[in-house]
Structure 1
Amino acid sequence: MILKKDIGKLKIHFIGIGGIGISGLAKYLKAQGAKISGSDIAHSNATKYLSSIGIPISIPHTPAAITDQDLIIHSAIIKPDNIEIQEGKKKEILILSRKEALEFILCNKRVFSICGAHGKSTTSAMLSAIFPHFGAIIGADTKEYGSNVREIQSQSIIFEADESDKSFLNSNPYYAVITNAEPEHMESYGHNLENFYGAYREFLHMASRRCINIEDPFLGTFEQESCRLSPSKDISNISFYLKDDEPYTRFSLKDLGEFEVWGFGGHTAINASLAILTAMSELSIEEIRENLLHFKGIKKRFDIIQKGDLTIIDDYAHHPTEVKATLESVKIYAQAKQNHKIIAIWQPHKYSRLLDNLEGFQQCFTQGYDELIILPVWRAGEAEMVLDMEKLFGHYRPIFAQRIRKNGNTLELIHQDRVIQTIQNGIAIGLGAGDITYQLRGEK
């Protein structure tokens, strides 16, 4: 059977190869020796990079891309009537979704699998910095090596697992790391908390080793042997400073001494502590302390994309807990830069998330900024809904705009096709998982 063959000897075709999850698998498997090809509907930075390393890419999808491959892997958005899927079926090639393929790809690997509602990308990137000799597949580009994949051959891999579609259960965890288990993506669990926590419990039991944040209400009830972090008790002496205008957090962890890590905020210290405690089974504490300094942040997580009179920060925060933590971090950053004005620009992500967490969103903007700008909800494929945002969030006295536009070193607020305000100085922090990241960068 094809799944029993050495993965490094397979010919694998990826449909939807431009997506970050699929492109990550393609880059990783190429590094393991597999012969990779792919297709997508249009070129992107990901497809251009893949082409540059010798992967043939077909744009758009075409049956001609399906030749003698051993395996086809497709992204979640690819439908059964896709012409390449149909051609693969005709040729009796094994076809797997990304979720299905993970189990096959990771089954013989020593996987450090990191999941959680918040902080998993950052914690994964920190672990990758600590373990430069391990492969890595992360859900965002780490600035350390400019990619979401560390493309090396290794039996061990740092893997950011996804609980949103239950695919973390296919990640074959040797070491399970959970930052928190706050309920999200409940549609995948039938909106049933018992099913949700049951999946996390199954994930933990699958692993040989575990590291968890026991101040999470659910994780605090988990009694099986594990590395346990109690942030309020184990982390102390937190301080923040700028080095070359970049944010750093300094803290002490248990009796292990002092550590420094890129980023601001208590959540940064928590993420780093989980990474440190996980790594202690593999490296000396001095190696961990030194390697952690290689972490330089990840794209779209407190991503400082412009400095000067107007500092622009792009952050992926799209849940009330994340928004609150990011605003706390930007407040610390502003104080370090001598109290610059903070302009928060929020693009709500998905109607379902906004409504599921409405009370949290109505309460998470209580502090950490001087001015709030609210953009239209980023639908992310959902049907449009009519919401009275002025009524829901009017207590914050925000400015409502249709979009923002980068103009030189300034940001312009556009409403009804006219500029209603120009932001020339201070710190602008973009919050959201939609196209706000491209608006902030002047790419849209």
Structure 2
Amino acid sequence: MAIAPKPKIPPLHKARIHFIGIGGIGISGLAKYLRAQGATISGSDIAHSPTTHYLRSLGVQIHIPHDASAITNQDLIIHSAIITQDNPEIIQAKQKHIPVFSREQALRLILDSKRVFSVCGAHGKSSISAMLSSIFPEFGAIIGAESKEFHSNVREAQSESIIFEADESDKSFLNSNPYFAIVPNAEPEHMETYGHDVGVLRAAYEEFLGKASVRCVNDSDEFLRGITIPSLHLDPAKDISNISYVLEDDMPYTKFHLRDLGEFAVWGLGEHVAQNASLAILSALESMRQDCQSQDSALESKLACHSSYPSAHIEQVRKNLKNFAGIKKRFDILCTNELTIIDDYAHHPTEIKATIQSLQVYACLRDITNISAIWQPHKFSRLFDNLQAFQECFEGAFSGDGRLVILPVWRAGEQPREVDFATLFARYNPIIATRTQRNGNTLEIYHNDTLLTTLKSGIAIGFGAGDITYQLRGVK
């Protein structure tokens, strides 16, 4: 029997590409980005979502649910990680000899021809990616969360440069073809990917940094200090000074001085915000300096680029950084009535602790003394791997009549385990609840159908990566 020839994939900006699971943030990001490059895209999912409705409004053909008829004459199929090989569209594609790529495999194909600003780390990579996209709005961007500046996780721009939020959880950051590698921190997590061996995790980060032409890392991170690959280094203790916090039009901003570059202002509150912004600023300035030096233009241009960071570049970065408006679900201020409701994606104790520091500053700026937190733990494995840190990270978070409300663990596919939250977190006298419900400008706390309490004033902040974000917004 003759073997069918291996099909050749045309250049991606000319290809017809079908995305299975197109409603997910990761796959939709690739779809929107490739559409902006010129590709003809289609997609499918099990149900409609705001993302599929948005894509349909652009004229993208969307099939709900998955069906073999969606596969016609496409050049390439890309599917999300949760799609199995018995999916009818994958089966049909293989019968038609259409190449089928997972998202991880597709990333290598997409990014190999791009100048990639690859941002990776345990915490803050979405914010840094969005900050860089604010600084370089002409670049494409694929971020793991929605930027509130342009209301998307994708900057749909045609450009040879792309800002990309890389993922260490599945090692796919190693496929991101980094020209510029930016790492704010690293922490042992997702250790099942690395055989529960910290040495393997460290080696992966070293490999990632080693792939890049330019690297920018945060020296204050203990894990990163053990990696000696030559890099641009941010030493927050020496490089960042005069941190202050202000409200502008009721929005929170951190102001700080960076080295001898002057003062910058960025949306958000906290020392970690200043550090994230500093990494974005230094990376942007270094990129601009290299671009300037590589130009064989007029002598005046060469002279202007003689200094390390020309003043015109600094002013451009300073101005564009102010366009950053935060990340959806990262200290996301939903309302500022008698009860201020904030949604935060933090689901690791390090993230929760940093957000609580920001919360305390914000409460002080607004002269609010009543603070409560609603915590939906994310995954049993994360909870037990970091139990002591979770028990400690809420210290100092509550004031006035504020309480800690603990919701059931968002399992994310894991098998349930018994957890005695009342005993483990007894120091906070927590309210053990099953759900919260938005009712106008208040939050009702329930255990099953019994109303336990209603939060009516002060600040209520929700922590978690599960469905708590929908509960806080009153859509679930």
What TM-score do the two structures reach when normalised by structure 1? 0.99
Distance 2:71 2:369 in 1: 55
Residues 331, 369 of structure 1: 8 Å contact kept: no
Q: Give the secondary structure class of the aligned counterpart of 2:425.
A: helix
Matched, 1:210 2:210: no
Q: Please state how far the C-alpha of 1:234 moved relative to its aligned partner.
A: 1.0
Q: Give the secondary structure class of the aligned counterpart of 1:195.
A: helix
Describe the superposition over 1:291-345 as per-residue Cα deviations: whole angstroms up to 9, x where unpaired: 0000000100000011110110000000000000011111100000013311111
- Name the structure 2 match of 1:124: 129
1:356 to 385, 405, 414: 385
2:184 to 179, 184, 202: 179
- Name the structure 2 match of 1:374: 406
2:374 to 339, 345, 348: 345
Q: Please state how far the C-alpha of 1:218 moved relative to its aligned partner.
A: 2.5
- Name the structure 1 match of 2:417: 385
Matched letter for residue 459 of structure 2 = I
Distance 1:3 1:191 in 2: 39
Distance 2:264 2:40 in 1: 42
Matched letter for residue 27 of structure 2 = I
Distance 1:416 1:150 in 2: 41
Describe the superposition over 1:100-149 as per-residue Cα deviations: whole angstroms up to 9, x where unpaired: 11000000000000010000000100000000110000001101110000
Residues 17, 75 of structure 2: 8 Å contact kept: yes
Q: Please state how far the C-alpha of 1:3 moved relative to its aligned partner.
A: 6.5
- Name the structure 2 match of 1:191: 196
Matched letter for residue 284 of structure 2 = A
- Name the structure 1 match of 2:361: 332
- Name the structure 1 match of 2:40: 35
1:28-427 matches, within 5 Å, as 28-283=33-288, 284-370=313-399, 371-427=403-459
Q: Give the secondary structure class of the aligned counterpart of 1:281.
A: helix
Report which stretch shifted further, 349-358 or 221-230. 221-230
Unmatched runs of 5 consecutive residues or more in structure 1:
none
Q: Give the secondary structure class of the aligned counterpart of 2:65.
A: coil
Q: Please state how far the C-alpha of 1:165 moved relative to its aligned partner.
A: 0.5
Instruction: Give the aligned CA root-mean-square deviation in angstroms.
Output: 1.0
Aligned length: 444
Residues 124, 160 of structure 1: 8 Å contact kept: yes
Q: Please state how far the C-alpha of 1:221 moved relative to its aligned partner.
A: 2.6
Matched letter for residue 222 of structure 2 = P
Distance 1:4 1:256 in 2: 47
Q: Give the secondary structure class of the aligned counterpart of 1:298.
A: coil
Distance 1:311 1:220 in 2: 39
Distance 1:211 1:51 in 2: 39
2:29 to 24, 29, 42: 24
Residues 257, 264 of structure 2: 8 Å contact kept: yes
Q: Give the secondary structure class of the aligned counterpart of 2:273.
A: helix
Residues 9, 76 of structure 2: 8 Å contact kept: no
Matched letter for residue 19 of structure 2 = F
Q: Give the secondary structure class of the aligned counterpart of 2:141.
A: strand
Distance 1:16 1:354 in 2: 29
What TM-score do the two structures reach when normalised by structure 2? 0.92
Residues 30, 36 of structure 1: 8 Å contact kept: yes
